[in-house]
Amino acid sequence: MRVVIAGGHGQIALRLTKVLAGAGHEVVGLVRNPDHQVDLTAVGGSAAVLDLEKADVTAVAEVLAGADVAIFSAGAGPGSGNERKDTVDRGAAALFAEAAERAGVRRHLQVGSMGADRADELDPDDSFTIYLRAKKAAEDDLRARDLDWTILRPGALTNDPGTGLVLLADKTGRGSVSRDDVAAVLAGLCETPASIGRTLELIAGDTPIATALSTL
What pLDDT digit, counting tens, does each position of 147-186 carry? 999 999 999 999 999 999 999 999 999 999 999 999 999 9
pLDDT at 122 over 80: no
Per-residue pLDDT, averaged over 133-157, amounts to 95
pLDDT tens, position by position, 76-88: 766 667 778 788 8
> Whole-number mean pLDDT of the chain?
94
More confident residue, 126 or 48: 48
Residues in a beta bridge with 26: 2
- Residue-wise burial string across 57-93, b where 16 or more C-beta atoms lie within 10 A, e elsewhere: beebbebbeebebbbbbbbbeeeeeeebbbbbbbbbb
Burial 163-172 (b: 16+ CB within 10 A, else e): beebbbbeeb
| Active-site option among 72, 96, 131, 149 | 131
Q: Is 100 a catalytic residue?
A: no
Q: Give the confidence band of 123 by pLDDT, cuts at 50, 70, 90.
A: low
For residue 81, the model assigns a pLDDT of: 73
CA 51/CA 213 separation, integer angstroms: 33
Query: H-helix or E-strand containing 128?
Result: helix 127-143
Cβ–Cβ under 8 Å, residues 112 and 64:
no
